[in-house]
Amino acid sequence: MSYGMTTTVQVADETRRLLEKLKNERNLDSYDQVIRWLVTTGTGHPRSMYGASKGSQRFERESEDEHHP
């Protein structure tokens, strides 16, 4: 893979260790490949889990009249 232009990304030591662990577990060649793998596979959680509590009702805005006497 040709990297062309590169950039430096600052991460905490623990994050670097986690990236290294994933790199080894997935037999990837670089941190770039680890990050690409993470981005393309996502978190494994369905999108529906974000932004609402489980079992909550769909939000519907009340009319402005209901807030003013």
What pLDDT is attached to residue 61?
77
Q: How far apart are CA 58 and CA 31, in angstroms?
A: 40
What pLDDT is attached to residue 19?
94
What pLDDT is attached to residue 32?
92
Q: Is this prediction's pTM over 0.75?
A: no
Sequence spans of domains, the chain: 7-43
* pLDDT one digit per residue (tens) for the chain, 69 residues: 666 788 899 999 999 999 999 999 999 999 999 998 888 887 665 555 556 666 777 777 777 766 666
**34 Cβ partners below 8 Å, 6+ apart?**
19, 22, 23, 26, 28
